[in-house]
Amino acid sequence: MDIPDALSQRLREAQHILFFTGAGVSAESGIPTFRDAMSGLWSRFEATDLATPEAFARDPALVWGWYEWRRRKVLQAAPNPAHRAIAGFLRHAEVSVITQNVDDLHERAGSPVSAHLHGSLHAPRCFACGHPASYPPGVPEVAEGGERIEPPCCHRCGGPLRPGVVWFGESLPEADWGAAMAAIEDADMVLSVGTSSLVWPAAEIPVWASRRGACVVQVNPQPTALDEIATVSLRGPAGAILPALLESAYGRSGA
Ligand code: BJW
Ligand code: ZN
């Protein structure tokens, strides 16, 4: 893709770049986005129906099975060119990565993540008492069409374990939210990548950065709620556009 010269120059001159990422950045690693249609056991559900404490309380095996299937997909996946390009920017500017994703593909590509706003698939805890727990090593076996799996019990109180993610109606982790606010203060450039920009309060991050004067660049094959305020919207897959942005700013040898 051809990157406008003015944008390459702004990137090159940026002091602090904030990457704000969503499920689309992991799509080319084979991880379904949050709002992709589901199949198999979960085809009757929307993801938004399963990602709530109420859904877990009603049917823990259904929700735990869905998260185990997703954890399996993530453990079997590898970072893609989009994750690697973001890590490439670290060589040239101060970079903060603020992600809504619950996978660890940014870290595996070499980018330290300042904030996992919606938690992590890899840090379960007790639904009843909040005690942290851990998974056995290895990749969980889950049928491709999906299956119900009873969650393991907490060692402390016997309650069911839940995934360490942030469900609808729950507060975002304070430290991660604080890190995101600090990054907004510093950033002169925001790249919002692969997010529908629908989920509050995370979706406000590029908006607030824009109000503080940052240049906001969006990377997404589809129009989103951010189109109205983005300085530039680049339509296409992150795995093609981010490497092109990196190369356009710093040249082939810098990318
Ligand atoms: C590509 C691509 C490629 C594809 N390259 N791009 C009414 C108004 C405003 C707010 C609310 C409201 N009613 C309720 C609320 C609050 C609610 C909310 O925002 N709801 C909205 C849906 C309306 N928010 C909350 O509840 C939050 N907490 C909160 O508000 O606390 C205060 C409070 C406390 C107590 C009581 C009440 C309030 C918490 C939100 C937590 C969200 N958690 C989830 C689930 C995490 C676990 C899991 O993964 O299962 O986080 S929801 C889900 O959405 C997940 C994601 O991180 C998040 C964002 O989704 P994302 O990443 O944007 O993915 P998609 O699938 O939507 O989009 C993918 C994009 O990629 C698309 O645009 C594609 O085009 C693109 N794409 N391929 C680049 N190759
Ligand atoms: Zn417990």
Same domain, 191 and 245: yes
Which atom of ligand 1 is least distant from the CA of 165?
47
Which of 129, 145, 165 lies at the terminal end of a domain, its last residue?
A: 165
pTM of the shown model: 0.97
Catalytic residue among 118, 122, 131, 155: 118
Q: Pick from 237, 42, 2: which is nearest to 146 by CA?
A: 42
How many domains are contained in the chain? 2
Same domain, 238 and 158: no
Which pLDDT tens digit goes with each residue over 141-178?
A: 999 889 999 999 999 999 999 999 999 999 999 999 99
Same domain, 93 and 48: no
**Ligand 1, atom 49: closest residue by C-alpha:** 102
Which of 165, 195, 225 lies at the terminal end of a domain, its last residue?
A: 165
Which ligand has the nearest atom to the CA of 130?
2
The size of the chain, in residues, is: 255
Query: For every residue of 102-140, which 3-state class applies, written as one string?
Result: CCCHHHHHCCCCCEECCECCCCCEECCCCCECCCCCCCC
Q: Which residues surround ligand 2, an ion (CB under 5 A)?
A: 126, 128-129, 131, 154, 156-157, 159
Distance CA 47, CA 5 (A): 40
> 193 C-alpha vs ligand 1 centroid, how far in Å?
14
Tell me: pLDDT of 108 over 90. yes
CATH number at 205 reads 3.40.50.1220
Same domain, 255 and 196: yes
> 101 C-alpha vs ligand 1 centroid, how far in Å?
10
Same domain, 224 and 150: no
Same domain, 236 and 160: no
Q: Which domain holds residue 87?
A: 1-31+79-118+172-255
51 confidence band (pLDDT: 50, 70, 90): very high
Q: What is the average pLDDT value for the chain, to the nearest integer? A: 97
H or E element in which residue 85 lies: helix 81-89
Which ligand has the nearest atom to the CA of 64?
1
Distance CA 196, CA 157 (A): 38
Which of 165, 198, 232 lies at the terminal end of a domain, its last residue?
A: 165
> 155 C-alpha vs ligand 1 centroid, how far in Å?
31
Same domain, 113 and 214: yes
> 173 C-alpha vs ligand 1 centroid, how far in Å?
15
Catalytic residue status for 106: no
> 95 C-alpha vs ligand 1 centroid, how far in Å?
23
Same domain, 70 and 148: yes
CATH number at 62 reads 3.30.1600.10
Same domain, 214 and 126: no
How open is the CA angle 183-184-188, to the nearest 5 degrees? 100
Same domain, 110 and 127: no
Contact residues of ligand 1, CB 6 A cut-off? 22-24, 27-28, 33-35, 51, 100, 102, 118, 165-166, 168-171, 194-196, 198-201, 219-222, 224, 237-239
Which pLDDT tens digit goes with each residue over 201-224?
A: 999 999 999 999 999 999 999 999
Same domain, 72 and 85: no
Res 253: pLDDT: 73
Same domain, 212 and 250: yes
